[in-house]
Amino acid sequence: MCPENISVFTTVGWDGKQGFFAIDEHLKRLSQHAEIANIIFNEESENLIKRQMKKQNFELNDYDYSNELCKPPGLITIRLEQDGSFLISERTNEYNIKCKLINAITVNAPINIKENYGIKFGEHLPYKNAFEIAKENNGNAALLVNEGGIIDGDRATLMILDKDGTAWVSSNEYGSINSITVELIKEELLKKGIPISFGKITIDLILRSSDAIMLGTGLGVTRINSIDNRKFEFSNSILFDNVKSILSKLMKEKWTDLNNVDVI
């Protein structure tokens, strides 16, 4: 069962003004998570959120923004409380933008991670705590591990390319959160000859892979450089190059300026 006094949230890419990346997809996932968590979320709720985002005076501190890895300048978190109220907050994406390669640290996930039902609950503490452990051990990302498999990344999804040309992502039956970024790219990735399979990602699977990345709203697409201080020299960059190409196109197509949208 879902815990009491919970909230669910989603984090949207933000251009620093009134542009939001894949906002409809994020609100759809928020609706799905709310339903699982028994939180009321309907069309009126969605319109209220969009109206608030349209009028809220978001601020992004200026900094030198140069990015080739499909990472937005800022991030907006939409948090839905149990009583149906919501909170919208903004932050810079500077940390992720400066992350050019992933040096990941594996962290044991809570035994009951499956009970999260693949939902971004509350303060997201198992993921936040894992990230802090990674930073304490000279990493810039955490990979949550449970029962011999990598369940999820602290703020992005691990995707690897097996030698047979199949991309692998952890299945949410193990507790991972469904990735909006993966959903956005999977059809175009298949057209490029790379199907995605969902299953258990083990260290052995990574060791025999030909490429590995992490991808998500904040991290964009970033290659794995090391895991637990073991450096990987993958045989090619086919997965990274194709995902980067697809995301680069989507980053030009999937922005919504709410100033140009009529909200009921």
Q: Could you list the residue range(s) of the whole structural domain that residue 194 is in?
A: 99-250
* Same domain flag for 75 and 199: no
Token pair recorded at residue 175: 């507790």
pLDDT, tens only, 112-151: 776 666 667 666 778 899 999 999 999 999 999 988 899 9
Q: How far apart are CA 54 and CA 97, in angstroms?
A: 25
The answer to whether residues 161 and 72 belong to one domain is no
CATH number of the domain residue 183 falls in = 3.20.10.10
Domain count, the chain: 2
Among the listed residues 87, 84, 82, 132, the one whose alpha carbon sits nearest the alpha carbon of residue 107: 132
Residue 218 and residue 182 in one domain:
yes
- Taking CB atoms within 8 Å and a gap of at least 24, the contacts of 238-243 are 238/161, 238/194, 238/210, 238/211, 239/159, 239/160, 239/161, 239/167, 239/194, 239/210, 239/211, 239/212, 239/213, 240/211, 240/213, 242/189, 242/192, 242/194, 243/159, 243/185, 243/189, 243/213, 243/215
180-216 pLDDT, tens per residue?
A: 999 999 999 999 999 999 999 998 899 899 999 999 9
pLDDT tens, position by position, 143-178 = 999 888 999 999 999 999 999 999 999 988 887 888
1 within domain boundaries: no
Does residue 2 lie within any of the structural domains? Answer: no
Residue type, 67: N
**Boundary (domain end) residue, out of 75, 96, 117:** 96
For residues 87 and 116, membership in a common domain is answered with no
